[in-house]
Structure 1
Amino acid sequence: MDWSSLGGLALALIGILVGQAVEGGQIGSLIQPAAFLIVMCGTFGAVLVQTNTKNFIAGLLFVRQVFSPPIDDRQELAKRINQWSHFARKEGIFMLEPYMKKETEPFIQKGLRLMIDGTPPDKLRQVMAIDMHFYEIQQRNAAKIWNAAGGYAPTVGILGAVLGLIHVMENLSDPSKLGSGIAVAFVATIYGVGLANLVFLPISNKLKALIQHEMMRREMLLNAWVSIASGDHPRIVEERLLAYLR
């Protein structure tokens, strides 16, 4: 669990609510289901217009990693790479198949398979680089929905404010309905700006950082495979790995 993400979100919400109370306002006045519905449905409806359903669903599922990010296994991965390197140096690259069968990650299995099959280092790099390129594109397309949501939410919030004011103007003859209409108008703007800057954009930036971390991890694997396939001494492979572990 990423407590910094949870703590940051909680701190932001607490700050807003406490600030509202300190100013003498009612916290309940910030709870407006109509405004929330307008902002959320309008924002994600606009996001769906610009993206396809596959990327939209992937982006929604991807958000879980913001609060429960993958374990950083680079240290353990470096140990396994060193084992591959020493074994390949001693027994030959073609004998690495038992190690490949122990791996469960498709990317690692593919790289080891190409190396075991005797793929030249330059071809190995080309094939796996293409795999990495399209993986990054897919991940970034999924993460983009949160950046897009952060861009649309404030505008949709203003739209909600205008709708609230229209409701107010339609009921000028009934003072009892003026308060609720004005509340929806201003709270919709708060929801739009707040969700954009406290939720959507931070999620987008966090996902970008996670993607960058995974790409660095895969680059570490690729460089190790190329080095082993080139016949480099295990000490050289180990020194190259250290650059990714600092």
Structure 2
Amino acid sequence: MDVLSILGVIIGFAALIGGNFIEGGSIQSLINGPAAFIVIGGTFGAAMLQTPKNSLKRAWKVLPWVFRPPNNPFKEGISKLVRWAHAARKEGLLGLEHIADSEKDRFARKGLQLLVDGSEPEVIRRIMEAELIIDEQRDLDAIKFFESMGGYAPTIGIIGAVMGLIHVMRNLADPEQLGPGIAVAFVATIYGVALANLLFIPIANKLRMCINERSQYRELMIEGIIAIADGENPRSIELKLNGYLH
């Protein structure tokens, strides 16, 4: 569980609500059902319109990464690669077959299977890098859904505010209703800007960082497996891969 993400959400919205209280406002002044319906519904609809079906499905699958990032154990990965290098030197590349069968990481397992099959290092690199690029691009396309929500929300909030002001203008004959009516109208703007800057855009940026970190881990795997294919010394492999440690 990523504690910083949880704290970030809590602190962000607490600052917004707390600042409203300090200025003498109340929680009721920030609650408006129609405004929330307009902003959330309009933002989601606009983002969904521009997002392909597969990317939308993937977006919901990677969303939990905000609070539970995928595990990319760089130290453990280096240790595994060094063990595989020792096994390859002692038993040959065919000695990695039983390791490949038990490897849980799909990407690493594919690399090991290519090693066992006797593929040339450059062939292994091309195949694994192609899969890395395709997977990375698929995930980057998915998080554009949240980026687009961050872009649309403020504009939809302004639309909601204008719609509220139109309703206020109909009651100009009653001056007592103008102040509260205008305040309620601008709640939609608050919803749009707050959701964009406290939720949607940070979510997209956090997911982008998770994707980049996973890609770096997979690059580590590629370099290690290619080094094993080239017959490099396990110690040399370890020293080279230590550069990936944060």
Task: Give the match for residue 50 of structure 2.
Answer: 50
Establish whether residue 188 from structure 1 lines up as the match of residue 188 from structure 2: yes
Which consecutive residues of structure 1, in runs of 5 or more, have no partner in the other structure? none
Q: Distance in 1 between matches of 2:85 and 2:14?
A: 52
Native 8 Å contact 2:72 2:214 kept in 1: no
Partner residue of 2:77? 77
Cα deviation code 1:14-53 (max 9, x no counterpart): 1111111111111211011211111111111111111112
Matches within 5 A, 1:84-233: 84-173=84-173, 178=178, 181-233=181-233
User: How far off is 1:71 after superposition?
Assistant: 2.7
CA distance in 1, matches of 2:20, 2:156: 23
- Displacement, 1:181? 4.1
**Offset of residue 179 of structure 1:** 5.9
1: CA distance between counterparts of 2:64 and 2:214?
16
1:51 to 1:18, Cα distance in 2 relative to 1, 3 A:
same
Give the partner amino acid of 1:49. L
| Distance (Å, rounded) in 2 between the aligned partners of 1:175 and 1:97 | 82
Structure 1 letter corresponding to 2:11: L
Aligned partners of 1:72 and 1:131: how far apart in 2? 17
TM-score, length basis structure 2: 0.95
TM-score (norm. length: structure 1):
0.95
Q: How many residues align?
A: 246
Where in structure 2 are there 5+ consecutive unaligned residues?
A: none
Deviations 1:42-67 (Å, cap 9, x if unpaired)? 11111111111221122123121111
TM-superposed deviation, 1:131: 0.4
Match of 2:64 in 1: 64
Write the distance in 2 (CA, Å) between the matches of 1:123 and 1:6: 43
Counterpart CA distance in 2 for 1:202 and 1:155 is 18
1:103-129 alpha-carbon deviations (Å, 9 max, x no partner): 122211111111110110011101111
Alignment correspondent of 1:244: 244
1:22 lines up with 2:22 in the alignment: yes
- With 99-108 and 217-226 compared, the bigger mean Cα shift is at 99-108
**Stretch deviating more after TM superposition (112-121 or 232-241):** 232-241
SS at match of 1:24: coil
Structure 1 Cα separation of the partners of residues 37 and 179 of structure 2:
19
The one-character-per-residue Cα deviations of 1:136-182 (angstroms, maximum 9, x if unpaired) are 11010111111111111110100110111112123334667656643
Q: Within 2, Cα distance between the matches of 1:61 and 1:175?
A: 50
Q: RMSD of aligned C-alpha atoms?
A: 1.5
Task: Read off the aligned partner of 1:192 and give its amino acid letter.
Answer: G
1:195 shift after superposition: 0.6
SS of corresponding position for 1:96 = helix
Q: 1:30 to 1:59 in 2, by over 3 A?
A: same
Please say if residues 34 and 184 of structure 1, whose CA atoms lie closer than 8 Å, have aligned partners that are also in contact.
no
Measured in 2, the distance between the counterparts of 1:186 and 1:243 equals: 51
Shift of 1:78: 1.5
Q: Distance in 1 between matches of 2:174 and 2:49?
A: 38
Tell me if the contact between 2:72 and 2:217 (Cα under 8 Å) persists in the aligned partners.
no
2:61 aligned partner, one-letter code = L
Q: Which amino acid aligns with 2:166?
A: I
